């Protein structure tokens, strides 16, 4: 490592001189800010300038400008751009590896200082897909808050695809999702098994059956969740495995929340498949009927974390709380 010392002196050294020392590291200049690495890391995580701009609360031209400046600084193209898609070049893959380590070191530095000072406060961000956030997490977050009153907990609620993207981008510390995750950069662990069941309005013809076969669903209006929903992807795959194409369903409309779907079914607008955990109140009040699928339709819930991310003691505590909470539910 080369170190250059630049001495700047005033005309009167004894009274007005000042000394400026600048360390010059090979290949790094003062123009290569950590902000550019953060922007690059986000773009590389989602492989979309548009999506990265949304996550960073920046304009797309600003994101593109940051990437272009980093490419000029490194004298290397970091992304291949073709047919409105981008992918990392070999140089980009290498920069991503270093950027991930640099960001992790920043987090480790902050955590080390907190450990020295005994600071148990901090911010933890957990993300969950809609079903889990609305029906399963309140107890977990309440218990965790009682044990760590100085910890601020932020909950992000979105569908499975969005939560996975936020974990990949380091925007959230832990994701809990209801759909399968296909991302080699993330650590995925099953946490619970959930059964999905058919919900029916009172007096529906299918309430006379003990269970419902996939083909029987095609005879009635079927209300789908929005595209990107973990529940929807599981249902579509299940039906396909049992000889029912998604397009053969009579789909009058799609709705973006389980509550909206339950209201539509209760009003007699159609039937659908949801997690059994979401209809306990309606069953207790006699507002809906529920029947299992034949064969049973089950899916796992998953924890999703960054594989390389430095784990703070608070993140570890949250993860252990989440594990124990879902074990109690089973």
16 — pLDDT class (breaks 50, 70, 90) = very low
Predicted confidence at residue 208, as pLDDT, reads 94
Residue 214 CB neighbours (<10 A): 19
pLDDT for 97 beyond 50: yes
Q: CB–CB of 78/92 below 8 Å?
A: yes
Q: pTM of the full predicted structure?
A: 0.56
Predicted confidence at residue 34, as pLDDT, reads 74
pLDDT for 294 beyond 80: yes
pLDDT for 130 beyond 90: no
Predicted confidence at residue 178, as pLDDT, reads 81
CA distances from 275 to 7, 40, 298, 320, 327 (A): 69, 38, 9, 24, 17
Q: Which residue has the higher pLDDT, 315 or 74?
A: 74
pLDDT for 15 beyond 60: no
Predicted confidence at residue 270, as pLDDT, reads 95
Task: Tally the residues of the chain.
Answer: 330
CA distances from 325 to 142, 192, 298, 322 (A): 11, 10, 19, 5
pLDDT digits (tens, 9 = 90+) for 270-286: 999 999 888 988 999 99
pLDDT digits (tens, 9 = 90+) for 180-212: 787 877 889 888 888 999 999 999 999 999 999
Q: Give mean pLDDT, residues 304-321.
A: 74
pLDDT digits (tens, 9 = 90+) for 39-49: 999 899 888 89
Spell out the domains of the chain, with CATH numbers in brackets.
7-105 (1.10.10.10), 120-192+302-329 (3.40.190.10), 195-296 (3.40.190.10)
Predicted confidence at residue 118, as pLDDT, reads 55
| H-state helical runs in 118-202 | 130-135, 137-147, 160-168
Mean pLDDT across the chain: 81
Q: Which residue has the higher pLDDT, 324 or 232?
A: 232
Q: Give mean pLDDT, residues 68-83.
A: 91
Predicted confidence at residue 310, as pLDDT, reads 53
Q: With pLDDT > 70 as the criterion, what percentage of the chain qualifies?
A: 85
């Amino acid at each position: 490592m080369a170190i250059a010392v630049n001495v700047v002196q005033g005309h009167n050294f004894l009274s007005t001189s000042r000394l400026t020392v600048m360390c010059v590291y090979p290949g790094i200049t003062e123009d290569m800010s950590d902000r550019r690495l953060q922007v690059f890391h986000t773009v590389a995580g989602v492989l979309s300038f548009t999506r990265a701009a949304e996550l960073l609360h920046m304009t797309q031209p600003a994101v593109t400008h940051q990437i272009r400046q980093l490419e000029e600084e490194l004298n290397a193209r970091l992304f291949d751009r073709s047919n409105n898609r981008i992918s990392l070049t070999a140089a980009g893959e290498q920069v991503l590896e270093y950027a991930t380590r640099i960001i992790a070191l920043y987090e480790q530095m902050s955590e080390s200082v907190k450990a020295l000072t005994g600071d148990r406060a901090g911010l933890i961000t957990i993300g969950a897909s809609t079903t889990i956030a609305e029906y399963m997490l309140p107890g977990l977050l309440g218990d965790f808050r009682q044990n760590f009153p100085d910890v601020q907990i932020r909950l992000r609620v979105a569908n499975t695809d969005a939560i996975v993207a936020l974990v990949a981008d380091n925007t959230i510390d832990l994701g809990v999702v209801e759909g399968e995750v296909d991302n080699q950069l993330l650590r995925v662990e099953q946490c619970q098994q959930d059964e999905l069941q058919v919900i029916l309005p009172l007096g529906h013809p299918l309430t006379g059956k003990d269970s419902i076969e996939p083909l029987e669903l095609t005879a009635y209006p079927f209300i789908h969740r929005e595209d990107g929903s973990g529940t929807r992807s599981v249902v579509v795959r299940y039906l396909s495995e049992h000889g029912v194409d998604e397009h053969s369903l009579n789909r009058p409309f799609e709705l973006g929340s389980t509550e909206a779907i339950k209201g539509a079914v209760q009003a007699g607008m159609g039937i659908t498949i949801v997690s059994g955990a979401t209809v306990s109140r309606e069953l207790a009040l006699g507002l809906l009927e529920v029947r299992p699928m034949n064969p049973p339709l089950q899916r796992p819930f998953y924890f999703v974390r960054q594989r390389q991310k430095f784990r703070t003691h608070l993140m570890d505590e949250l993860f252990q709380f989440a594990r124990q909470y879902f074990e109690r539910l089973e």
